Amino acid sequence: MKKTLNDIQVADKTVLVRVDFNVPLKDGVITDDNRIKAALPTINYLIEKGAKIVLFSHLSRIKEESDKTKKTLAPIAKKLEEISKKSVKFIAQTRGKELESAIKSLKAGEIILFENTRFEDVQNGEVVKYESKNNSELGKYWASLGDVFVNDAFGTAHRAHASNVGIASNIKESCVGFLVQKELEMLAKGIDKPEHPFIAIIGGAKVSDKIGVIDNLLEKADKIIIGGGMAYTFFKAQGHKIGKSLCEEDKVALAKQYLDKANGKIILPIDSANNSDFKDTPPTISGVDLPDDVMGLDIGPKSIKLFEDTLKNAKTVAWNGPMGVFEFNHYNKGTLAVCEAIANLKNAFTLIGGGDSAAAAIQLGFKEKFTHISTGGGASLEYMEGKVLPGVEAIQNK
């Protein structure tokens, strides 16, 4: 087990906190502040315990100097002040004298937020990737600014960056924050120690994105439901005609291998909602052999019924990826039905592994109905694949 906030003393110490404030901005305005709110339990606990708090985060990708004007954390500092009702001092630097003296003069319970860690990826117009390639000198420098490191950014836990692995490897004491702790507990409960029957639902466009998940869960789950664009690669592996549907030709043989290995564990759709073009007009419904001139954009009504029946007595459900083009009103029926079926299960542990399925569940109004919706798409996907998350691995053990 990794150290958590409850395992360390923070009073009067300078605590460096890697948060995930990678929020969507439109014309400098934050359109969704959920990630800022998610960091509050850790921040409030540190204030209460009398820590001196230094927050930092990345925001989007920085590929050239001009990106820096649009991707500053200044508006996020303002928003954090507003939400937390605490004063937040913003330092427009990732290193240097101003940052160092501001940190030195911090008093217990005070907060600094410093500039976007990915500004370190571009120096004087040159792409150097000091942050995202975990430059050892940068990790040491950031570590030198504090006494304790708290990683509370689950969204980047699957990446080894200077602002997580770099600092953790160079500081006396490190732990995970409350957000990361909860993510790890929930994912462990859903994936590593599930109560059976355990049903996994895997959707999305590509088999290649989910190979690791299918591999890992074939061992653990009682059934794996497959929907979304990736289902058509499986149809092709079964010898069906798939019209103009999405298909990864180089993964057909692999899909066939999975079907053989699964021994009936994999549940595929039995009909398809199709359109002659990729557009939001009413579908035609076919079986699993599609006419040549159409593409499948969602599962059909019989598949919905099959998936609902498969889910009926589940005690654990892990869901990653939509069943169709859920941004289209005519092709969100499968995703909606699956969402609803999971949401209405009684006494089941239900987990959404971030990304599109999390967005769909929240958008469709089911946020409160799931046991846990992960905040990190890539990180929870890699956890579902059974991979080690470097940002967590680097934290000290209890």
Q: Is 354 marked as binding a ligand?
A: yes
Amino acid residing at 327 = E
Question: Whole-angstrom Cα distance, residue 3 to residue 46?
Answer: 15
Q: Is 22 marked as binding a ligand?
A: yes
Q: Which of 49, 133, 206, 369 is catalytic?
A: 206
Q: Smallest Cα–Cα separation from 321: which of 245, 210, 211?
A: 210
Q: Is 356 marked as binding a ligand?
A: yes
* CA angle at 331 for the pair 326 and 335, rounded to the nearest 5°: 50
Question: Whole-angstrom Cα distance, residue 191 to residue 320?
Answer: 12
Exposed/middle/buried for residue 126 (C-beta within 10 Å: 0-12, 13-18, 19+): exposed
The number of beta carbons lying within 10 Å of the beta carbon of residue 145 is 20
Q: Is 309 marked as binding a ligand?
A: no
Q: Is 280 marked as binding a ligand?
A: no
Q: Is 95 marked as binding a ligand?
A: no
Q: Which strands form 14-18's sheet, in the order they lie side by side? A: 88-91, 111-114, 52-56, 14-18, 148-151, 173-176
| Complete DSSP assignment for 158-188 | TS--IIIIIHHTTSSEEEE-HHHHHHHHHHI
β 122-123/148-151 pair status: unpaired
Q: Is 386 marked as binding a ligand?
A: no
Q: Is 192 marked as binding a ligand?
A: no
**Cα 64 from chain centroid?**
25
Q: Is 210 marked as binding a ligand?
A: yes
The answer for residues whose C-beta is within 8 angstroms of residue 43's C-beta and 6 or more apart is 17, 19, 53, 55, 84, 86, 111
18 catalytically annotated: no
Q: Is 196 marked as binding a ligand?
A: no
Amino acid residing at 41 = P
The token pair that represents 299 in the structure block? 């599962």
Q: Is 159 marked as binding a ligand?
A: yes
Q: Is 296 marked as binding a ligand?
A: yes
Q: Which of 355, 376, 377, 391 is catalytic?
A: 355
Cβ atoms of 134 and 161 within 8 Å: the answer is yes
Question: Whole-angstrom Cα distance, residue 299 to residue 320?
Answer: 16
Segment (H or E) for 274: strand 272-275
Q: Which of 2, 13, 35, 71 is catalytic?
A: 35
Q: Is 58 marked as binding a ligand?
A: yes
Q: Is 61 marked as binding a ligand?
A: yes
**What is the DSSP code (8-state) at residue 190?**
I
Q: Which of 182, 302, 369, 378 is catalytic?
A: 378
Q: Is 90 marked as binding a ligand?
A: no
377 catalytically annotated: no
Segment (H or E) for 9: none
Q: Which residues are annotated as a binding site for ATP?
A: 210, 296, 327, 354-357
Q: Which residues are annotated as a binding site for (2R)-3-phosphoglycerate?
A: 35, 118, 159
Q: Which residues are annotated as a binding site for substrate?
A: 20-22, 35, 58-61, 118, 159
Active site residues: 35, 206, 355, 378
Q: Which residues are annotated as a binding site?
A: 20-22, 35, 58-61, 118, 159, 210, 296, 327, 354-357
